[in-house]
Structures are given as C-alpha cells and as structure tokens.
Homo-oligomer: A and B are copies of this chain.
Amino acid sequence: MKKAVVLLSGGLDSATVLAIARDQSFQCYALSVDYGQRHRSELEAAQKVACALGAYQHQMIKLDLIAFGGSALTDQAIAVPTAGEKTQIPVTYVPARNTIMLSLALAWAETLQSQDIFVGVNAVDYSGYPDCRPEYIQAFEQMASLATKAGIEGKKLTIHAPLMHLSKKEIIQTGIALGVDYSLTVSCYQADETGRACGVCDSCRIRKAGFAAAGVTDPACYRS
C-alpha cells in the first residue's frame, strides 16, 4: 500500500482531500499544524476527521507562527474581515503558510519513504493567495525533488492538489460522494471553543454559498 502525507486542517477542503487520497488507495498519514491560529477548534475538528476517514496515523505539530505576525489569523491586533471587503490579498493570508506546511509534510514524507503529499489548495475561492496557484505547487514540487534523498535517487515527489480547479460546490459534491461527514469540519476563521461558526467571515460565507449551490444542507453549527 502506498503511503501519502495528507495536510489536514480540520476544514472542509482538507477533509475532502483526505477522502480523495483514501479513495485512491493511499495509506494516509494526516498532518495538522498548530501554528497559533485563532480558529483553534479547527485542530479538534482535524482529529475527528482523521479518525472518521480512517487515517493510518495523525500527527499534530506545534509551530509558533505568531512570532512573525502579519496575518489576521494569527495576529490578535488585525481584525478578521466579515463584510467581504476585497483587497488584492486577504489579511487572512498567513505569510508563507503553505510553504511551511508543505515543507513539514515533505520532512515526514521523507522519513516515511513516501513520494506523495496531498494538500487542499484551491485556486478558485482563494485567488488572492499567492501560494494557492498551480504554478506555485509546481515550483514547490520541483524544489522538493531536489531537496530530498529520494529526489537524488531519482524518485519523483508528487504534490497532489486535487481541489485546485474545483468550485466549492464541486468540492462538497465530491466529498459527499466519498462519505465525508462535513458536520465534523470547521471552516470559520473565528469559531468559538465548541466549534460554532460565526457565519459572517469570508470562510463561512464561501462555505454557506457552496452548500447552497450543491443543494445540500450545511451541517455546521452557526452562532448567528
């Protein structure tokens, strides 16, 4: 059975990615990073999702990105936008987050002798995030192949980004077909300790619209 490292945040997208990796017959090693995000109930959601979708192992890595600041998701002084204000790059963008996450996944993949990493980046809803673009994923793959023992031995590392070009509606439909229980996932940028979502942040709004478009009831618990 081929091993894969799957980045798992506890949100809707990465839960779907885990289901896709499992459906492709990978033995899944789920990796969550506790980087000091505001929405800490995401991490508890990640545990439940890993268990529910049969991850072979789930590893939680602590990393203090708060030290660097610069994002509304880690910096308490920056407000999470709620009214859908459009800036070119959202303040919820965490500097180099996907690069750091993928690097950690790469380290684990190397020790597991796995050549497959799954990540839930999406170029449709997060068009403002530089590290959610296909050309970025390709460049990371190329770098990773040069960075590792496996690469030197000629084994190609693949970064699977199966959601890249899907709409939220399509992501939800894919997940439901694969048996994902979306009631376990937390998408909200400012969910409370029990995982209840605010219903008004960008992430909640995108999620709600996705479920509506898919014609499926959103099982998330909203405060408002």
Identify the A interface with B (CB < 8 A): 59, 61-65, 67-70, 89, 93-100, 102-104, 106-108, 110-111, 130-131, 133, 135-136, 139-140, 142-144, 146-149, 151-152
A-B CB contact pairs (8 Å), 20 listed: A62-B63, A63-B63, A65-B107, A68-B107, A68-B108, A95-B111, A95-B149, A96-B106, A96-B107, A99-B106, A99-B107, A99-B144, A99-B147, A100-B104, A102-B103, A130-B146, A133-B146, A139-B142, A139-B143, A140-B143
Would A152 and B139 count as touching, CB distance under 8 A?
no
In this complex, which of A67, A68, A96, A144 has the most chain B Cβ atoms within 10 angstroms of its Cβ?
Answer: A96
**With contacts A107-B65, A111-B68 known, is A96 near B148, CB below 8 A?**
yes
